[in-house]
Amino acid sequence: MGKGSSLTYCDRSDIGRRRSNNQDSRTVLPPSSPQQYRTRGWMFLVADGMGAHAAGELASAIAAERVPLVYEKTAQRSPPLALRRSIEQINGEINSKGESSPEFKGMGTTCSVLVLLPRGAILGHIGDSRIYRVRNGTIDQLSRDHSLVWELESAGGMSREEAAEAAPKNIITRSMGPHPHAEIDLEGPHPVESGDTFILCSDGLSGQASDEEIGLLASELEPRAAADAMVGLALVRGAPDNVTVIVARAGPEEVTKASTADQPWPLSDLPEEAAGPPPLPWRWLAAAGATLFGVLVLFGMLERLGETEKFICWLGIGGLALAFVGSIAAALIGFIAPSGGRLRVLVPGKLLGRGPYRSYSCRQSAALLEGILGSIEAAADGLGDADRGRSQKLMEQARQKVASGSLHEATLAAAEALAIFAKAVQLSRSDDTVTSRRLPPANPSFDPS
């Protein structure tokens, strides 16, 4: 059984180039021991807040702080059940906060959570922030967008491009907070292989970079460099929204291995009838009493009957006696195992949800790299002379590497150019600009990288 100690990750958040505050939040909850990894695993969360003034910022912060805490308290019983219950509970808390003050009315947030366990990767998701997996040159979207664009495409009759043209991209159909109850998607557990790279991001990234570009950067760069490059690419392309990303790469200790000791995971709470003393099976007890009374009555009639009538009476006594025994047996069974809702479970080997929902090749290609380089080139005009000169040299180097077939080296050069632009954007901001909301890990002493 893996220890969960070979995973590396990096998380980044940026205010973007048009927003005055950062409504994104994220958190990483690492396991502090192999035992904790087995019971509740690694947790990664991205939340993108919605609402006027500071409402969206507060909603996403509540989700990022409270969901991991509630999940950790109950994960030992069943991680998928704990994940769903934690998001549902915090949805109620955000809704209550929104109803308590006019300035927070209607506030909400997306919430996308990835949990890595020895049995695989499970997801809890609501909204349009995304969770991807990159494996062997393919990027899979493991979460489903709860957006109007996605619904139009899923309904049939529209391509992805047609749906995007027909509806605004920022209209989401589900989120945490606006309503007292929320419908949560659960997915997995998806088996994990060594080298699998998972990306969680707000739509500030997925709206500016294609799935293929995200997959390319995640597969060709280490998590820290990949996260920096993704944020840099969004900034190069204007970053009209906050940008948040977590990149996590599984190692040999996170590989999923089937075990005969795996038990079914409960997916629902115990039925209420089973929570207290079982109720008495009154109907069966009443039937047993009635049949016993009938037997006694027939016994009392035997002395006054003839031989033929006695025979018929004995047959009646026998039938009532059998009915009495059956009623007592049914009453005992009802007392020991009362009727009620059955406990839903997920047996080992079965999956929740229908993901992956989209899959694309993200293998290195000249066209994919040129799309990134072209964006850097267009944005470099706004840089100072020194930074523009360095960027141009890196782009020339990258194109030379592409021409010679050294696509990995070309990706590294493109990432360096993105870093130059991102640093220039950060330096151009005033000191009082809000740059990011970052929640510290619950176990800062455990450094997986």
Are 20 and 103 in the same domain? Answer: yes
Are 211 and 353 in the same domain? Answer: yes
Confidence of residue 334 (pLDDT cuts 50, 70, 90): low
Is residue 421 assigned to a domain?
no
What single-letter amino acid sits at 304?
Answer: R
User: Rounded distance, CA 79 to CA 338, Å?
Assistant: 28
Are 22 and 152 in the same domain? Answer: yes
Are 320 and 244 in the same domain? Answer: no
User: Rounded distance, CA 442 to CA 449, Å?
Assistant: 16
Secondary structure of 339-362 in HEC code, one letter for each residue: CCCCCCEECCCCCECCCCCEEEEC
pLDDT at site 277: 54
Are 146 and 281 in the same domain? Answer: no
CATH number assigned to the domain comprising residue 132:
3.60.40.10
Are 250 and 288 in the same domain? Answer: no
Question: Tens digit of pLDDT for each residue in 224-263?
Answer: 999 999 999 999 999 999 999 999 999 999 999 888 888 9
Confidence of residue 430 (pLDDT cuts 50, 70, 90): low
Report yes or no: 276 and 252 within 8 Å, Cβ to Cβ.
no
Are 170 and 289 in the same domain? Answer: no
User: Rounded distance, CA 238 to CA 297, Å?
Assistant: 93
Which of the listed residues 285, 318, 336 is the one where a domain comes to its end?
336
If you search the block for the tokens 């002493």, which residue do you land on?
445
Are 265 and 277 in the same domain? Answer: no
CA angle centred on 70, ends 266 and 131, rounded to 5°: 75
Is residue 149 assigned to a domain?
yes
Structural domains counted in the chain = 2
- 3-state secondary structure at position 114: strand
Has residue 439 got a pLDDT over 50?
no
Strand spans (E) along 127-184:
130-135, 138-141
Read off φ and ψ for residue 367, nearest 5 degrees: -65, -40
Is residue 350 assigned to a domain?
yes
Are 323 and 231 in the same domain? Answer: no
Are 234 and 315 in the same domain? Answer: no
pLDDT at site 442: 37
Question: Tens digit of pLDDT for each residue in 280-327?
Answer: 667 777 877 888 777 777 777 777 777 777 777 777 778 878 887 877
Number of H helices, E strands in the chain: 14, 14
Q: Residue 441, CB half-sphere, CA atoms under 13 Å: how many? A: 17
Is residue 301 assigned to a domain?
yes
Read off φ and ψ for residue 46, nearest 5 degrees: -130, 135
pLDDT at site 94: 97
Q: Is 347 exposed, middle or buried (0-12, 13-18, 19+ CB in 10 A)?
A: exposed
Is residue 226 assigned to a domain?
yes
Confidence of residue 163 (pLDDT cuts 50, 70, 90): confident
Confidence of residue 342 (pLDDT cuts 50, 70, 90): low
Higher pLDDT, 4 or 65: 65
Average pLDDT of the segment spanning 94-99: 96
From the list 8, 1, 5, 445, the residue with the least C-alpha distance to 222 is 8
Which of the listed residues 317, 336, 355 is the one where a domain comes to its end?
336
Are 93 and 105 in the same domain? Answer: yes
Least confident of 117-131, 168-182, 349-363: 168-182
**Domain containing residue 290:** 272-336
Q: Supply 236's token pair.
A: 């190069």
Q: Supply 248's token pair.
A: 């996590």
Is residue 384 assigned to a domain?
no
Is residue 412 assigned to a domain?
no
Q: What is the dihedral of CA 191, 197, 198, 203, to 10 degrees?
A: -140
Q: Supply 357's token pair.
A: 């929902």
If you search the block for the tokens 């090749």, which residue do you land on?
361
pLDDT at site 337: 53
Read off φ and ψ for residue 21, nearest 5 degrees: -145, 165
Report yes or no: 182 and 126 within 8 Å, Cβ to Cβ.
yes
- Name the pTM for this structure: 0.82
Cis peptide leading into residue 266 (ω within 30°): no
pLDDT at site 161: 74
| Phi-psi domain of 343 (left: phi exceeds 0; alpha: psi -120 through 50; beta: other) | beta
Q: Work out whether the CA dihedral 229, 233, 239, 241 comes out positive or negative.
A: negative
User: Rounded distance, CA 75 to CA 85, Å?
Assistant: 10
Q: Supply 152's token pair.
A: 């139009």
Q: Is 60 exposed, middle or buried (0-12, 13-18, 19+ CB in 10 A)?
A: buried
Is residue 229 assigned to a domain?
yes
Are 24 and 149 in the same domain? Answer: yes
